[in-house]
Structure 1
Amino acid sequence: MNGILLELKQVNKSFGHLKAVDGLTFIVKQGEIFSLLGPNGAGKTTALRLIAGTLKPDSGDIRIGGTTSRYNRSEHKQMGVCSQELQIWPMLTCEEQLHFAGRLHGMDRQQITRRTAVLLESVGLSDQRKTLAKNLSGGMQRRLHILLSIIHDPDLIILDEPEAGLDPQSRVLVRDFIVSLSRSSAVLLTTHNMDEAQRLSSRVAVMDHGQVLVCDTPAALQQRYAPEETLEIYYQEPVQKSVQLNTPEYTLQFKESSLQVTGDHLTEYVPHILNKLAALYGNPLTFSLRQSTLEDVFIKLTGRSLRE
């Protein structure tokens, strides 16, 4: 179950003077969900196109199932690619679409029929199997779009923002479905949703300026780059800054009617902090203590400023 299904070694791709992918190196193993994270312009889309075979790298190796795939797209039959852009046929039913996609992949009718029934059931679309795609809700269309990319039961599945545009119920269904896919395949996931990445990922790679900055499990990255805890306290009225709260053990950030306290091992300081605040501002409306998240790691590594 731990065989390497995707391997990139020192992959480079430039567009004129712009180096979109710079020495990109990582592996994805069977049975894991690997998330590729990064801000806009980090090179994620270019990386996916290189893996999918719609772009050729300038240099470096891309291997799928142990076979170099840089110049041979026939090897990509063992890959399923679900793009962020919705790609369905509006005038075909759910069943017809999956049957058509299966035939394109060379599957026989019995295989297609069995696989179609299983997939539709797995994402809650069995009752809609005879419904035209144009009459489905947006969340249902997105679920169908994912199924079309995996009808042929690929070993490597690439999902580009699979939760984009999903309602909460569809999001839960899709997350459970992605986990089920990873039991027999390798899943490469890109997302801007840090909560999605943290919940689903076996490992994550944070990418910026065409390079992988770090790669590890979400828990390991949180411990390494954002081990601190955060205490958030909320008041009914705005609170003023006070030097009486300054201390080397933690940092404070005031936000109108709330303040945020951040520090390592903050739990032991919570009673002391709340007593200080009560003396200065009265009792708060509410407060919460949380561990750092993958989003905190992401911001530390890539910065807070937005990029186009």
Structure 2
Amino acid sequence: MNGILLELKEVDKSFGRLKAVDGLSFTVRRGEIFSLLGPNGAGKTTAIRLIAGTLEPDNGDICIGGTPSRRNRSLNNRVGICSQELQLWPMLTCEEQLHFAGRLNGMDRQETKRRTAMLLESIGLSDQRKVLAKNLSGGMQRRLHLLLSVIHDPDLIILDEPEAGLDPQSRIRVREFIHSLSRTSAVLLTTHNMDEAQRLSSRVAVMDHGTMLVCDTPAALQQRIAPEETLEVYYQEPVQKTSELNALEYSVQFKDASLRITGERLTESVPHILNRLTALYGNPITFSLRQSTLEDVFIKLTGRSLRE
């Protein structure tokens, strides 16, 4: 990775008595995909608006490429922002949309045409280049919306829920495209999709109540905060809660016709646990053993799922 492209230092932002962002500090480097996660109301949207320059911080500094952003609004040309809400011109074709956006960003005609062809090809829209935006499928519109934010080849790219509403095929295309963007730029990603964050992110930061709780690689967070394994067992009928499964090595949660058993180094105990379950409830329909995920980390930190 090269140098730092985005740096926040002790940034605060309040709305009346509500402190939406409280002492937020982090950096994003070129070549990195940095995911900012948090439940609704955690302060992510405010943080994004501060970075984008649509809000002014009450305290602290936001630097883009080493320059304080509020002192130099021309830095906005170095930033590409893909909002969650689609922003397209319905009566323009894919090509026309990108040509227009390129000219708005001060690009010359030849460079705009070159970037347009390359971007449409890279995200699988070349065959749709002459199609009006209003006639595209929802997934194609989402992909075109993403291209509009990067037509000017920005150094810092902010992506707010880029996979929202995508079908599986489009989701794979978009993930590959985001990976390609990170080769030359810094990518700041917000998402409610934990699988997306885990697959894409170089580092993950979890926010709640305006503050950053943790920041590290997904693997390091899982190892440090949720090192447990989880055994999930499913039955045809609801199972009755019992204390006979209690053990110091693991915890047991009952939910209707399933059980969730969590503990460290659980693999070696699985045969013994399944034997006990069979004696109590009979043979299960199925079971699965998995490592912890970012979702487990998130719930441990905030006590909530990401969409709450």
TM-score for the superposition, normalised by structure 1: 0.98
Q: CA deviation at 1:241?
A: 2.0
Matched residue type, 1:70: R
Find the counterpart in structure 2 of residue 210 from structure 1: 210
Unaligned runs of 5+ in 2: none
After TM superposition, the runs of 4+ consecutive aligned structure 1 residues lying more than 6 A away are 305-308
Alignment of 1:120-199 (within 5 A): 120-199=120-199
Pick closer, same or farther for the CA change 1:306–1:48 going to 2, 3 Å.
closer
Unaligned runs of 5+ in 1: none
Distance 2:22 2:158 in 1: 21
Q: CA deviation digits over 1:130-183, x for unaligned, max 9?
A: 000000011110100000000000110000010111111111100110011001
Shift of 1:2: 2.7
Distance 1:71 1:295 in 2: 38
Q: Which residue of 2 aligns with 1:73?
A: 73
Q: Residues 306 and 31 from structure 1, CA distance in 2 versus in 1: closer, same or farther, beyond 3 angstroms?
A: closer
User: Contact conserved, 1:56 with 1:71, CA < 8 A, in 2?
Assistant: no
CA distance in 1, matches of 2:77, 2:272: 61
Distance 1:291 1:50, change over 3 A: same
Instruction: Please state how far the C-alpha of 1:242 moved relative to its aligned partner.
Output: 2.4
| 1:87 is aligned to 2:70 | no
- The AA in structure 2 aligned to 1:277 is L
Deviation of 1:64 after TM superposition, in Å, equals 0.2
Q: How much identity, in percent, do the aligned residues show?
A: 82
Distance in 1, matches of 2:60 and 2:84, equals 26
Distance 1:238 1:137, change over 3 A: same
Report deviation, 1:307: 8.2
The one-letter code matched in structure 2 to 1:127 is D
Say if 2:272 is the partner of 1:272. Answer: yes
Q: Report the CA distance between 1:243 and its aligned residue.
A: 2.3
1:273-306 superposed Cα distances (whole Å, 9 cap, x missing partner): 0111111212111110000100111111111278
TM-score relative to the length of structure 2: 0.98
Across the aligned residues of Structure 1 and Structure 2, the Cα RMSD in angstroms comes to: 1.2
- SS of structure 2 residue aligned to 1:23: strand
Contact kept in structure 1, 2:159 and 2:187, CA below 8 Å:
yes
Q: Deviations over 1:196-241 (max 9, x none)?
A: 1001000000001111110000000011110000001111122212
Is residue 41–residue 307 contact of structure 1 (8 Å, CA) maintained in 2? no
Q: Which residue of 1 aligns with 2:231?
A: 231
Q: Distance in 2 between matches of 1:5 and 1:213?
A: 22
Bigger Cα displacement from structure 2, 70-79 vs 96-105? 70-79
C-alpha distance in 1, partners of 2:177/2:307? 32
Residue deviations 1:252-287, cap 9 Å, x none? 111111111110110010010011111121211111
Q: Secondary structure at the match of 1:85?
A: coil
